[in-house]
Amino acid sequence: MKRIAWIAIGSGLLMQPALADELFFEATGKISTEVTFYAADGQFANQNYRTNLSLSAEPEFYWQWNEQRDSLTFSPFFRKDQRDSERTHADIRELSWVHLAENWELRTGLRKVFWGVTEFQNLVDVINQKDQVEGLDKEHKLGQPMINLSLVKDWGIVDFYLLPGFREQTYAGANGRLRAGLVVSDDATTYQATNREKHIDLAARWSHSLDVYDFGAHWYKGTDRSPQYKAISEHGKPVLSAHYQQIEQVGLDLQATIDSWLWKGELIYQDNPQQNFWASQLGVEYTFYGIQDTATDLGLLFEFGKDQRGKKANNIMQNDIGIGARFALNDTQSTTMLVGAIHDLDYHTTSFSVEAERRIGDDWKASIEARAFSTDNSDDPAAIFDQDDYLKLTLDWYF
């Protein structure tokens, strides 16, 4: 009942957004039910199950005032998982205040930021920590505390970030699937910085569009979002501890949009206590529009990921090619499908994925995600997923 009232208030104000000094409020969000079917029991202890049920909710509350010059967004996230107590978690994806002026805006609070252009991984996307228990696609991120000043100039957009406070990556627990043989302990985390997670990280990015080119250049100095792991003993049990070091990184991202071609590239150069290295993700996407006289578009993707550290990289696409086919039916239900494969040229292993989604009615969406791992090579870090082939069905309700 309360929700209905909010929506009524929200949509009522939405009709007159130009009215000065009026407070605009809106509550939206989604609730998701997810069932996962695994092809086999897992390869590690406590993974002897083949189905898992999970529920999540992500509401968003939004306020706007001062003639649209100030806004506040609050978006908490909750998940309850049937098996994995670590996957049962909550986060504040966003709790931020945005103030707009003529040529700048100031964004303060917990936020999510995306940088990058490629599809299989985004090397330049360094601001947020991954909410890894949410899925392997790295699309889920934890809210990052920040003060972000964004300047709009004729020669592009410049963003400065002050990032006080670091979020540790999330990991599957003892009863979770899609994890390493040893569980990562929450209590054993170590940092290079003496002030640990209170270290203040800094970043800046310049981005611009010129003709068919969109590009960005960034600098980042602070805590590495990707940790190093070490096997330790905790209460007499072997576990992994995560160690977060300090890094300094520069990077570039570029996309050229030429007719039906998208040429994409991301490049980083990182300096950390162990070594300096570069890594790149380069690729191309070509789209056939309206195939076979239908409204369906077919996009073909090819990408190549390379990390100078080679097999020592804590990056799963250290020398990998990714291929994909993206179908968009452009129908009333917005049906899409993405079929892809990643092949590791160092370990000769391959993983396959299918993702498809379709709207049902006006407020529901059904999705399928399936992954199969042909990673039977114990040297490959991806070998931990070898028994975790799965099919995940998700039903989202939007309000």
Partner 1 sequence: MNIKQLTTSIIASSVLALSATTAFAGAAEDQGMAISKEAKARDEGWVDMTASMNMVLRNKQGQESIREIRMKVLEIIGDGDKSLSIFDRPRDVKGTAFLSFSHTSGADDQWLYLPALKRVKRIASRNKSGPFMGSEFSFEDLASFEIEKYTYKFIGEQPCAIGSCLVVEQYPTDKNSGYKKRIVWIDKAEYRMLKTDFYDRKNSLLKTLTSEQFQQYKGKFWRPSLMKMVNHQSKKSTDLSYKQYKFGNGLTAADFNKNTLKRAR
Segment lying near partner 1 (by CB under 8 A), choices 44-52, 188-196, 252-260, 373-381: 252-260
Burial of 292 (0-12, 13-18, 19+ CB in 10 A): exposed
Q: Which backbone phi and psi does 303 adopt, to 5 degrees? A: -140, 155
Residues 335-364 contacting partner 1, CB under 8 A? 359, 362-363
Q: How far apart, in whole angstroms, are the C-alpha atoms of residue 130 and residue 134?
A: 9
Closest CA to 320 of 328, 311, 329: 311
Whole-number minimum distance, CB 110 to partner 1, in Å?
13
Q: How far is CA 311 from CA 345, 346, 382, in A?
A: 11, 7, 12
Sign of the CA dihedral running 333, 397, 3, 63: negative
Residue 321 touches partner 1, criterion: CB under 8 A: no
Distance of CA 269 to the CA centre of its chain: 21
Residues 142-161 touching partner 1, rule: CB under 8 A, are 150, 152, 157
Name the segment binding partner 1 (CB under 8 A); options: 97-105, 245-253, 273-281, 377-385. 97-105
Nearest to 281 by CA among 250, 253, 313: 253
Extract the runs of DSSP E, i.e. beta strands, from 48-155.
Answer: 51-65, 70-81, 89-100, 104-111, 144-153
| Residues 279-318 contacting partner 1, CB under 8 A | 287, 289-290, 295, 297
| List 249, 255, 280, 315, residue binding partner 1 (CB under 8 A) | 255
CA angle 258, 126, 136 (to 5 degrees): 85
Q: How many residues make contact with partner 1 (CB under 8 A)? A: 50
96 contributes a contact to partner 1 by CB under 8 A: no
Name the β-bridge partners of 144.
111
Q: Which of 18, 155, 187, 292 binds partner 1 (CB under 8 A)?
A: 18
Closer to partner 1 at the Cβ: 13 or 232? Answer: 13
Q: Which is nearer to partner 1, 54 or 64 (CB)?
A: 64
Q: Is 399 in the site for partner 1 (CB under 8 A)?
A: yes
Instruction: Build a one-symbol-per-residue string for 35-64: x at contacts with partner 1 by CB under 8 A, - elsewhere.
Output: ---------------------------x-x
Q: Is 398 in the site for partner 1 (CB under 8 A)?
A: yes
Is 55:38 a contact under the CB 8 Å cutoff? no
Phi, psi of 2 (to 5 degrees): -60, -45
Nearer to partner 1, 233 or 332 (CB): 332
- 45 vs 152, which CB is nearer to partner 1? 152
By CB under 8 A, is residue 20 in contact with partner 1? no
Alpha carbon 43 to its chain's center: 26
Assess 113 for contact with partner 1 (CB under 8 A): yes
The amino acid sitting at 14 is L
C-alpha–C-alpha distance, residues 104 and 151, integer Å: 4
53 or 295: CB nearest partner 1 = 295
Smaller CB separation from partner 1, 271 or 297: 297
Candidate residues 169, 190, 257, 336; the one interacting with partner 1 per rule CB under 8 A: 257
Rule CB under 8 A: say whether 332 interacts with partner 1.
Answer: yes
CA distance 264 to 296: 23
Least gap, CB of 141 to partner 1 (angstroms)? 9
Question: Who's near 292: CB < 8 A, 6+ residues apart?
Answer: none
Residue selected from 33, 48, 51, 260 as contacting partner 1 according to rule CB under 8 A: 260
What does the binding site for partner 1 look like in residue numbers (CB under 8 A)? 14-15, 18, 26, 28, 30, 62, 64, 71, 98, 100, 102-103, 105, 112-114, 116-117, 139, 150, 152, 157, 207, 209, 212, 214, 255, 257, 259-262, 287, 289-290, 295, 297, 330-334, 359, 362-363, 365, 396, 398-399
